[in-house]
Structure 1
Amino acid sequence: MRHLLLRTWETTAGTVSADAFSVAELERLRLAAVDSDRIERPRFCAQDAALLADGLHYETRIAERGELATRESHPHDFFNALVWLRHPRLKRALNARQVADIARVGPKQRTRGQCALTHFDEAGAIVWLAGTDLLPAWDAHDWSTLFGAQRAGWGRSIAVTVFGHALVEHVWNGHDLPVAKALAVRVDARAFAALDVEAGSMVARWPDAEARVAAAIAAGELLADPQELRPLPLAGIPGWHVDGAQPAFLREAPCFRPLRPGRRYPAPYAP
């Protein structure tokens, strides 16, 4: 059976395959997405010598030319394309910040903000919190409480939107202990209750809430430093792993790392 994370992306991918796709197929998906929500995405363009001859940085090309360099039949680029299709506002915000910092420090240096943006882009998730009851356990890396004693809270007061394309690729490659770099976001309990929370406590997309998060990223209020991101071992969430409810698994699996001495997390973002 395909992993539930991959099943949530099948509606976006349609019949296009991660390891055997053409840029033309992605373009058809892009045009359909724009027609559906009227939000522009950069054009998918084959990454070849002719495209790269402009000498532009990857991020700058997106911002200035609206062109996304894409390697055909390359899974990493495929899942990046799917994220652009599903979460265009968030991707635009990341791109705008990257381009601003490239202009400020040059293409060969990286700011703390750029590191945070890249971590979120590659392995990020948004964890929607309709309350604070699970937060102390998460902040303490008390995985036995977060995924054991308080397991029933998943899907009821806490849910996750997986955003990072490398994280999805990791699962596609058969790795079943993924760890997301997560933004914690407080949301209204009534709005949360109205969500369509899928298996594994996943929210595929939440456009209204994502727009507020994207605005905060674009303004530099979020992802100014990698230390804002909390590790979240997804294998503990109900439905993610066959052993996810076993106490020994939560103690011993390598994804469940203890809290590093002195590590502190910021309060969840409250839009």
Structure 2
Amino acid sequence: MREREAGQRAAKIDKAAKAGSAVAHEAAATKAARGMAPEPLPPCFAAIDWSKPWFAQFATRGQRWQQAALTGYADLLAAMNADAAQMQQTTGRGQPLAFIAQDDLPPGAAYEGHIASTGCVPTRHNLHDFFNGSMWFAFPRIKAALNARQSAELDVLGVGPTRGGVRDMLTLFDENALLFACADSSLSAALRGFEWQTLFVAWRDAWGRRCEVRCFGHALLEKLIAPFRGCTGHAWIVAVPAEYFEWDTPARDAWLDEAVSAALLGPDALTSRMFAPLPVLGIPGWWPENESPAFYDDTSVFRTGRRKR
């Protein structure tokens, strides 16, 4: 059984890699035949600063992919598929993960439904999809859980003009979520209560000891290429054991991946009210200017919120 699955996986990866290469070479050949200059590579990939804390969490793989992306579209797909083959990751319905060119998504096919049924993730040569692919490796169980729930919703409701509440929440998670790992309920209460001075100033020493953040949303990561003060993520609060902060980073990420994916697949209703807004540049250690308590006085960013609720 395992040998057959491995063979199917290898065939799928090889097909995806060849398809990506064919798309890139065909586009280049068409432009050359028309006397057109080759399309310039997106300069955005060179702008990734891997020293930033929001990118550093997956810098090792990301730097390899960055070099591939700067070489060309087909090279990026090949690098992603090589890692997918090695990791043996699956999507929401157990299909082996692979990355294909966006043009290979059949007309009229739903993006999430296609991923669930085939395992193939349509991927463009841009930062948005670069970071989306990265999350399939940083938090594979969470990505598979999101895909499973999205495709299940599609099975029930179909593709319509509106997504519906659950799909909206899942999309918001996928695009803009932060994982707020916390071993102290008073800290999560301060976050939900918009008590910024308490969370970021009075309890600043708690960061890294009793709470921390992982970036998940790929649209959020794309925005953080050029950070701005008002950049805000949707924090998903994860209660972690106290010993969590004694573990190394891979162990923490694996724990978060398991816990959050289980919650997404659990019986609880999923709504956007489950998130808490969190201005990313306010996280201690993530932005030099927030060393000054006055940084948090900007009420256009650090809003008072609905304290009474």
- Shorter-chain TM range is 0.7 to 0.9
8 Å CA contact 2:80, 2:99 repeated in 1: no
Cα displacement string for residues 141-160 of structure 1 (whole angstroms, at most 9, x for unaligned residues):
01111100100000000011
1:199 counterpart residue number: none
2:287 counterpart residue number: 241
SS of 1:244's equivalent in the other structure is helix
State the alpha-carbon separation in 2 of the partners of residues 117 and 204 from structure 1.
25
> Are the structure 2 counterparts of residues 184 and 210 from structure 1 closer, same or farther at C-alpha, using a change threshold of 3 Å?
same
State the alpha-carbon separation in 1 of the partners of residues 233 and 57 from structure 2.
16
State the alpha-carbon separation in 2 of the partners of residues 92 and 229 from structure 1.
20
SS of 2:233's equivalent in the other structure is strand
2:66 counterpart residue number: 17
1:47 counterpart residue number: 102
SS of 2:291's equivalent in the other structure is coil
User: Bigger relative contact order, structure 1 or 2, given CA contacts below 8 A and separation 6+?
Assistant: 1
Alpha-carbon distance, 1:86 to partner: 1.5
SS of 1:207's equivalent in the other structure is helix
State the alpha-carbon separation in 1 of the partners of residues 252 and 60 from structure 2.
12
1:266 counterpart residue number: none
The structure in which a higher percent of residues are helix is 2
TM-score w.r.t. length of structure 2:
0.74
SS of 1:206's equivalent in the other structure is helix
> Are the structure 2 counterparts of residues 33 and 235 from structure 1 closer, same or farther at C-alpha, using a change threshold of 3 Å?
same
1:40 corresponds to which letter in structure 2? T
> Are the structure 2 counterparts of residues 243 and 204 from structure 1 closer, same or farther at C-alpha, using a change threshold of 3 Å?
farther
Query: Are residues 1:232 and 2:278 paired?
Result: yes
1:152 counterpart residue number: 205
State the alpha-carbon separation in 2 of the partners of residues 183 and 3 from structure 1.
21
Alpha-carbon distance, 1:248 to partner: 2.1
2:261 counterpart residue number: 214
2:113 counterpart residue number: 60
Alpha-carbon distance, 1:45 to partner: 0.5
2:159 counterpart residue number: 107
State the alpha-carbon separation in 2 of the partners of residues 212 and 136 from structure 1.
20
1:154 corresponds to which letter in structure 2? W
8 Å CA contact 1:30, 1:85 repeated in 2: no
Map 1:257-268 → 2, pairs under 5 A = 257-260=303-306, 263=309
8 Å CA contact 2:193, 2:307 repeated in 1: no
Alpha-carbon distance, 1:76 to partner: 0.7
2:148 counterpart residue number: 96
Identity across the alignment (%):
33
Cα displacement string for residues 117-153 of structure 1 (whole angstroms, at most 9, x for unaligned residues):
1111001011111122312321210111110010000
Mind listing any 5+ residue stretches in structure 2 that lack a counterpart?
Answer: 1-48, 92-96
Map 1:120-159 → 2, pairs under 5 A = 120-159=173-212
State the alpha-carbon separation in 1 of the partners of residues 169 and 188 from structure 2.
21
Cα displacement string for residues 75-103 of structure 1 (whole angstroms, at most 9, x for unaligned residues):
11111111112211101100111111111
Which protein shows a greater Rg? 2
TM-score w.r.t. length of structure 1:
0.84
1:47 corresponds to which letter in structure 2? Q
SS of 1:53's equivalent in the other structure is coil
State the alpha-carbon separation in 2 of the partners of residues 226 and 137 from structure 1.
19
> Are the structure 2 counterparts of residues 135 and 219 from structure 1 closer, same or farther at C-alpha, using a change threshold of 3 Å?
closer
2:65 corresponds to which letter in structure 1? V
